[in-house]
């Protein structure tokens, strides 16, 4: 099982509530500032209908 760190999401929801689409930008900004070199992450996005995006990233 994968070990996920939801802290960036949890802080955002606690401080601002659910902002729908703009939430992604706030969470991504926090993750980019806290990521360690060579750490990997998985970005997932779902949109209207069945629009989906996924990317495996390595932070430098």
Is there a contact between 30 and 8 (Cβ–Cβ < 8 Å)?
A: yes
- Structure pTM? 0.53
Of residues 37 and 28, the one with the higher pLDDT is 37
3-state secondary structure (DSSP) of residue 54: strand
Phi, psi for residue 35 in degrees, rounded to 5: -70, 145
Q: What is the pLDDT of residues 8-28, one digit of tens each?
A: 777 778 888 877 777 778 878
The percent helix, strand, coil of the chain (3-state, each to 5) is 40, 25, 35
Cα(46)–Cα(52) distance, rounded to whole angstroms?
A: 4
């Amino acid at each position: 099982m994968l070990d996920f760190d939801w802290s960036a999401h949890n802080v955002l929801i606690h401080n601002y509530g659910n902002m729908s689409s703009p939430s992604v930008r706030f969470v991504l900004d926090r993750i980019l500032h806290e990521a360690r070199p060579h750490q990997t992450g998985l970005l997932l996005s779902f949109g209207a209908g069945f629009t989906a995006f996924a990317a495996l990233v390595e932070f430098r």
